[in-house]
Amino acid sequence: MGHRPASQTAGQEAAGHGAEAHAHGGHGAVGHVAPLRALIGTGAALLVLTWLTVAVTRVDLGELNIFVALGVATVKAGLVMLFFMHLRWDRPFNAIVCIGSIAFVALMIAFTILDTAEYQDTINPGDAKAVRETIESLGN
Amino acid sequence: MTTLTPSRPAFAPSNYLTHSRGVLSWAMTLDHKRIGIMYLLGVLGSFLLGGIFALLVRTELIWPGQTIMTADQYNRAFTLHGAIMVFLVIIPSVPAALGNFVLPIMLGAKDVAFPRLNLGSFYLWVLGAVLAVLAMLSGGIDTGWTFYTPYSIEADRQGVIWVASAVFILGFSSIFTGINFIVTIHRLRPQGMTWFRMPLFLWALYATAVIQVLATPVLGITVLLLMVEKVMGIGIFDPSLGGDPVLFQHFFWFYSHPAVYIMILPAMGIVSELISVHSHRHIFGYRFIAFSSVAIAIFGFLVWGHHMFASGQSPLMNALFSMITFSVSIPSAIKVFNWLATMYRGRISLNTPMLYGLSFIFIFTIGGLTGIPLGTLATDIHLHDTYFVVAHFHYVMMGSALIAMIGGMHHWWPKMTGRMYSETAGRIGAIGVFLGFNFTFFPQFMLGSLGMPRRYFDYQAGFSQDLTELFHVYHFLSTLGSYFMALAFFWTAGYLLHSLFRGERAPANPWGGASLEWKCSSPPPHDNFAEQPAVGDCYDYDQIEWDEAAKGYRFRENYTPAAAH
């Protein structure tokens, strides 16, 4: 508290008109530098997983194919976020934001799929255009 | 120009309005205050346009049968009214216009965290607004603001593509504002301002920003899928192509229900400020109000299916969504009771912003309570798609969200412009808007419970003679009310414009507020504060005293707060 020049407060440096600073504890303006080995390792893992995605299309697993493909894609996205996007070294708050966002996507898709699965039995199969034409012809 | 007595505060030698001159200094500005003012002008211009279409719609309904336009023109008019009011007026009104102006000053900061993103967001809004209005005026779309499939994907509705593109762009504008506010509140709070020392308006803006960032991308994806379906004929929502129209409603309302909270939450934040400042009393239940904003933001994501009870949604989901919907009433009621408790034993000044604050509490209570029969499955079957729904959401969106926005505009008008408006004229305007509003929309509850469907151009054919006559009485009253409300708004615009040229110069703190924006001059200087201001309890009014010379309030020097609240 107390009066002190605005330019000296921590957050204010990032605030000045247009000035942007990558505020990150202890690493100055550059931000966190990921170890080269971790980056190369992640890159290699992504390549291997891409190969796995392609390879698995040649094996017929029935309905399991889609789950394998999406599972591999999820792992890849996780690696990118953890290492390339520095989530592993970032504040826990950012991990909470990330997990929270995924939870909201899951919520939307889960409720919607639950509903569409529930009302499938009530749908009358058929060509909607034909139904409409029939109704219109009845109207005339 | 008014003559000034020497004791009156003069404008700061250089304020944000005089800091630089010329059109370019506004068009290229990175100053959050100027961007806020430009947003405000855009929003008010859109409000005029949307209001004109509202009056056209009401005039058409004043008599049974065709009055001033054809049925097709009527469909276009209410679509224009709805889309403009939702996307161009209410969503950006409080966060982008007032929030932009006030948020950094309330934090004692120089600007938002990303000033360029802020300007970019404004230009995206302009682009989206121009595209939407041109598309709607040239081709005209008649789908309502909801673009429901399969109606909207029929081949002769090409205008939908353009309006959907505009909505996509406007969505990005909203996301950028949200990101900016989240980062600003996290990073730029001054020393001493903990989360629980922030003004409640900032809590509300924060909760709103979280919804903007989480929900708006879903709207973007939904309108993108709609465009893909229309342009490429891929079956997503169109049943004749194997799509599912109920899926569209799921996607659309996953955004658009939280969007209702994008509209009302910041309005509630304004009301928390208005009630406390103008009652000169510490806000009651600070933490409950703060957490109820966050609770509303979260519950808001779990109730979208209550718009779809009559859409073919499964009984299981209907029951689930109905149950969860009632939970929203808890945090909403917490706020209302806390505002009432704040006023209790306060020294209430019944000036213009306070009258708008009181209007909000009255109207929001009716709007909230009439939501209960709509959230109940059995009664909703009768009331669905009737004027009861129209009245309900106007009580919440217009009577609550917009009235709070206008109240906030009056509250911060001296800060924004450096001028005081006529208090008598302001009170007349506020009472006029309140009466006009209720006069317009209360009869619509009667219409709806009698079965008058919404979006109908006529109420003659298909209804009995008695019912038509009854509908006519209520429509007639409603239309007269809308004219009265329009007059009150023009009156308001008149005295506000008058104050710009003839108004008395505003003191730094005309109302006796204790949050940081009342510590800088009116209008604020370009950099808001030369020194970072000291942060105290922003609802402790013992630190404020009347200053006769300045005709306003001032902060006591060497004030030591009593025991913490």
List, for residues B475-502, the tens digit of each pLDDT value. Answer: 999 999 999 999 999 999 999 999 999 9
Percent of chain B with pLDDT over 90: 83
When comparing pLDDT for A18 and B356, which is higher?
B356
The verdict on residue A41 lying in a domain is: yes
Are residues A110 and A83 part of one domain? no
pLDDT (0 to 100) of residue B531: 86
A23 and B187 within 8 Å at the Cβ level: the answer is: yes
The verdict on residue A42 lying in a domain is: yes
Mean pLDDT on B229-233: 88
Q: How far, in Å, CA of B472 to CA of A140, rounded?
A: 32
Each residue of B25-42: pLDDT tens digit?
999 999 999 999 999 999
Q: How far, in Å, CA of B314 to CA of A80, rounded?
A: 38
Q: What angle do CA B206, B271, B123 make, to 5 degrees?
A: 50
Q: With 50 as the cut, is the pLDDT of residue B8 above it?
A: no
Q: With 50 as the cut, is the pLDDT of residue A25 above it?
A: no
B214 and A20 within 8 Å at the Cβ level: the answer is: no
pLDDT (0 to 100) of residue A93: 86
**CA of residue B554 relative to chain centroid, distance:** 31
Mean pLDDT on B391-412: 97
Are residues A95 and A84 part of one domain? no
Sign of CA dihedral B24, B27, B32, B36: positive
pLDDT (0 to 100) of residue A134: 76
Mean pLDDT on B91-107: 96
Are residues A84 and A96 part of one domain? no
Q: How far, in Å, CA of B344 to CA of B240, rounded?
A: 61
Mean pLDDT of chain A: 77
The verdict on residue A62 lying in a domain is: yes
Are residues A104 and A81 part of one domain? no
Are residues A100 and A121 part of one domain? yes
Residue recorded with tokens 């673009």: B147
Each residue of B173-198: pLDDT tens digit?
999 999 999 999 999 999 899 999 99
DSSP B423-484: HHHHHHHHHHHHHHHHHHHHHHHHHHHHT-BTT-S-SSTTS-HHHHHHHHHHHHHHHHHHHH
pLDDT (0 to 100) of residue B401: 97
A5 and B531 within 8 Å at the Cβ level: the answer is: yes
Q: With 80 as the cut, is the pLDDT of residue A131 above it?
A: no
Q: Which domains does chain B have, with CATH numbers?
A: 25-555 (1.20.210.10)
Q: Can you give the residue range of the structural domain that contains A114?
A: 91-133
Each residue of A70-94: pLDDT tens digit?
999 999 999 999 999 999 998 888 8
Are residues A81 and A46 part of one domain? yes
Q: How far, in Å, CA of B432 to CA of B451, rounded?
A: 29
> Where residue B135 falls among pLDDT bands split at 50, 70, 90?
confident
The verdict on residue A38 lying in a domain is: yes
Are residues A98 and A77 part of one domain? no
Q: How far, in Å, CA of A71 to CA of B367, rounded?
A: 46
The 3-class secondary structure across chain A, one letter per residue, is CCCEEHHHCCHHHHCCCCCCCCCCCCCHHHCCCCCHHHHHHHHHHHHHHHHHHHHHCCCCCCCHHHHHHHHHHHHHHHHHHHHHCCHHHCCHHHHHHHHHHHHHHHHHHHHHHHHHHHHHHHCCCCCHHHHHHHHHHHHC
Mean pLDDT on A117-127: 77
Residue B160: left (phi > 0), alpha (psi -120 to 50), or beta? alpha
Contact B545, B556 (CB under 8 A): yes
pLDDT (0 to 100) of residue B200: 96
When comparing pLDDT for B460 and B116, which is higher?
B116
Each residue of B241-271: pLDDT tens digit?
888 999 999 999 999 999 999 999 999 999 9
Instruction: Report the residue from B30, B214, B535 with minimal CB separation from A104.
Output: B214
When comparing pLDDT for B235 and B156, which is higher?
B235
Q: With 60 as the cut, is the pLDDT of residue B507 above it?
A: yes
Are residues A96 and A81 part of one domain? no
- Residues sharing a CB contact under 8 Å with residue B101, sequence separation 6 or more, in sequence order: B32, B33, B36, B37, B40, B412, B415, B416
H/E stretch holding B531 reads strand B531-532
Are residues A101 and A76 part of one domain? no
Mean pLDDT on B411-433: 97
Q: With 50 as the cut, is the pLDDT of residue B137 above it?
A: yes
Residue where one domain finishes, among candidates A88, A103, A118: A88
pLDDT (0 to 100) of residue A27: 45
Nearest of A3, A8, A20, A22 to residue B111 by alpha carbon: A20
pLDDT (0 to 100) of residue A13: 39
Residue recorded with tokens 């004109």: B52
The verdict on residue A81 lying in a domain is: yes
Sign of CA dihedral B548, B551, B553, B554: negative
Rounded to the nearest angstrom, the minimum Cα separation between B222 and chain A is 13
Domain count for chain A, please give it: 2
A6 and B531 within 8 Å at the Cβ level: the answer is: yes
Token couple for A120: 């499938």
Q: How far, in Å, CA of B396 to CA of B370, rounded?
A: 10
Each residue of B284-314: pLDDT tens digit?
999 999 999 999 999 999 999 999 999 989 9
Task: Compare all CA atoms of chain A with the CA of B117 and give the residue at the minimum distance.
Answer: A18
Task: Compare all CA atoms of chain B with the CA of A6 and give the residue at the minimum distance.
Answer: B532
Rounded to the nearest angstrom, the minimum Cα separation between B536 and chain A is 9
Mean pLDDT on B65-85: 93
pLDDT (0 to 100) of residue B258: 94
The verdict on residue A48 lying in a domain is: yes
A15 and B110 within 8 Å at the Cβ level: the answer is: yes
When comparing pLDDT for B142 and B416, which is higher?
B416
Q: How far, in Å, CA of B98 to CA of B33, rounded?
A: 9
Q: How far, in Å, CA of B114 to CA of B176, rounded?
A: 9
Q: With 80 as the cut, is the pLDDT of residue A69 above it?
A: yes
Q: Which of A12, A20, A94, A121 is most worth mutating to test chain B (most B CB atoms within 10 A of its CB)?
A: A12
Q: How far, in Å, CA of B353 to CA of B337, rounded?
A: 19
The verdict on residue A4 lying in a domain is: no
Are residues A73 and A41 part of one domain? yes
Are residues A97 and A77 part of one domain? no
Residue where one domain finishes, among candidates A54, A71, A88: A88
pLDDT (0 to 100) of residue B6: 39
Rounded to the nearest angstrom, the minimum Cα separation between B372 and chain A is 22
pLDDT (0 to 100) of residue A126: 64
Are residues A101 and A83 part of one domain? no
Q: How far, in Å, CA of B94 to CA of B259, rounded?
A: 13
Mean pLDDT of chain B: 93
Task: Compare all CA atoms of chain A with the CA of B115 and give the residue at the minimum distance.
Answer: A18
**b (16+ CB within 10 A) / e for B378-408:** eebeebbebbbbbbbbbbbbbbbbbbbbbbb
Q: Which of B184, B186, B531, B560 is most worth mutating to test chain A (most A CB atoms within 10 A of its CB)?
A: B531
> Where residue A30 falls among pLDDT bands split at 50, 70, 90?
low
The verdict on residue A11 lying in a domain is: no
A119 and B314 within 8 Å at the Cβ level: the answer is: yes
- Which of B10-19, B459-468, B514-523 is least confident? B10-19
- Between positions 298 and 317 of B, the ones with CB within 8 A of A are 301-302, 305, 312-317
Mean pLDDT on B502-509: 94
